[in-house]
Amino acid sequence: MATPLRVLIHGGGIGGLTLATALARCGHRVRVAELRGELDALGVGIIQPSNALHVMREIGVLDACLTAGFGWDTLTICDPVGNTLAKIPQPRMDEAPASLGIPRPALAAVLGAAATAAGAELTFGTTVTELADDGDGVDVTLADGSTGRWDLVVGFDGIGSPLRKRLYGGRFAPEYTGFANWRVTVPRQPEVQGVLMSTGDRTAKALLTPITEELMYLGAVFAEAEDFRPDPERAHEQLAERLAAFGGPVAEALTEVTDPAAVVYSRISQVTVEEPWHVGRVVLAGDAAHASTPHLAQGAAMAVEDALVLARSLEEEENVPAALAAWEARRRPRAMWVQNLSRAVLKQETGTPTTPEEDELLKIGIPGAAHVLVQPY
Ligand SMILES: Cc1cc2nc3c(=O)[nH]c(=O)nc-3n(C[C@H](O)[C@H](O)[C@H](O)COP(=O)(O)OP(=O)(O)OC[C@H]3O[C@@H](n4cnc5c(N)ncnc54)[C@H](O)[C@@H]3O)c2cc1C
């Protein structure tokens, strides 16, 4: 489309800021409406696999990410006491490392600065309160009282997406998997030069992920009741109890975990929107449309791929409806493949029975998935 579009992005997380940057760099008028009061993020890290790094290169922030994070090319598998069982080289895209660990607040800062520099308007502490799509445009009122007419509204508003509820009612709510993730940032041990995956008995796994020269995070998944919440006074002890079978680097990392408030607890859910991801000129993307379990570390990678491909579809197609259809045709199969394999890996690792379809998917495994996902998206 030759004409600059007016695009409202609901949600200034990883996907929303990537889309804002990509669109503003093409000359479109972009506003991001973010509920939080400022550009912040959970105080733990995130893995950017090679396909996410490729998107970062395309929107001009790869060097900033590499400076803020810690790159690696090899996945190390250990036994529970830290003896190395395997070192698995990971595929690269271009010259970037195969993967990068980065603190989430640092990634938010990089993407926020890029979106602003490209000309996008970031607004905080606000949300959509009214929305009316007449087929040619969408009239929106925000909580701050401002009104505007947009060619496209994009819901990059996360797994709990209020826009999804507005479009589909309760039909595609997050489905709790029965498992939750515990994460905490600790000093990086010198030998942790890439993800170190330590597998205990059939149902226990701990990951150490470097995110800077100085820091790494410890992550682990356990079965938890849906209404369980860690005790604010002793979350660090509850995590240590769950990881009692581990020695080596995991046990050493645990000795650094002394503040219960530093432990981040997230229930693992997934979302599958089984109808088209757009209704008229309002579209869902990233976690709002297809949140996965984190077992391939691909949720944010899918969100940033969604963002870049959406920006390109809007450039290539004649009009907004055609762009949304072309975009979804390209994105849905890959996002669903990631979701299905991620869920299958969760089941395999936690001893949950799998279906024949999941057994078929699991033949590829985590290292094989990296080789599939390094292919163009
Ligand atoms: C334990 C765990 C570990 C993970 N590890 C990885 C990993 O290593 N690598 C990876 O690629 N992915 C990982 N993920 C997944 C990744 O975090 C998500 O897939 C990614 O953040 C999705 O991006 P998004 O932009 O769609 O949503 P988000 O990043 O969640 O952003 C949504 C934004 O919308 C805003 N918002 C919400 N409601 C409103 C509203 N009403 N109005 C305005 N704004 C609103 C939120 O404040 C937020 O800023 C992990 C997920 C979990 C749970």
Find where tokens 């197609």 sit.
317
Q: From the CB of 123, is ligand 1 less than 6 Å away? A: no
Beta strand residue intervals within the chain, DSSP E: 6-10, 29-34, 45-49, 70-72, 74-78, 84-89, 99-103, 121-124, 128-133, 138-142, 147-150, 152-155, 175-187, 196-199, 205-210, 215-223, 264-270, 278-279, 282-284
Between the CA of 269 and the centroid of ligand 1 the distance, in Å, is: 12
What does the pLDDT look like over 87-112, one tens digit per residue?
A: 999 999 878 999 999 999 999 999 99
> Cα 261 from chain centroid?
23
d(CA 164, CA 239): 33
State residue 30 phi and psi, 5-degree precision: -130, 135
**What are the distances in angstroms from CA 285 to CA 99, 144, 208, 239, 332?**
23, 24, 29, 33, 10
| Mean pLDDT on 288-316 | 97
pTM: 0.97
Identify the weakest region by mean pLDDT among 184-193, 310-319, 361-370.
361-370
Between the CA of 244 and the centroid of ligand 1 the distance, in Å, is: 30
Give the number of the atom of ligand 1 that is nearest the alpha carbon of residue 128: 42
Between the CA of 81 and the centroid of ligand 1 the distance, in Å, is: 33
Q: From the CB of 111, is ligand 1 less than 6 Å away? A: no
Give the number of the atom of ligand 1 that is nearest the alpha carbon of residue 219: 1
Between the CA of 112 and the centroid of ligand 1 the distance, in Å, is: 15
Between the CA of 14 and the centroid of ligand 1 the distance, in Å, is: 6
Q: What is the CATH number of domain 177-265?
A: 3.30.9.30
- Kindly list the domain boundaries of the chain, sorted by start residue: 6-47+100-173+270-373, 177-265
Q: From the CB of 103, is ligand 1 less than 6 Å away? A: no
Q: Which CATH class is domain 6-47+100-173+270-373?
A: alpha beta
What does the pLDDT look like over 147-173, one tens digit per residue?
A: 999 999 999 999 999 999 999 999 999
Give the number of the atom of ligand 1 that is nearest the alpha carbon of residue 181: 1
Q: From the CB of 289, is ligand 1 less than 6 Å away? A: no
Find where tokens 């810690």 sit.
70
DSSP assignment of 74-137 = EEEEE-TT--EEEEEE---STTS-SEEEEEHHHHHHHHHHHHHHHTPEEEES--EEEEEE-SS-
- Split at pLDDT 50, 70, 90, the class of 41 is confident
What does the pLDDT look like over 173-207, one tens digit per residue?
A: 999 999 999 999 999 999 999 999 998 766 678 99
> Of the residues 8, 9, 10, 14, which should be mutated to test ligand 1's pocket, given the most ligand atoms within 8 Å of the CB?
14
Residue 244 amino acid letter: A
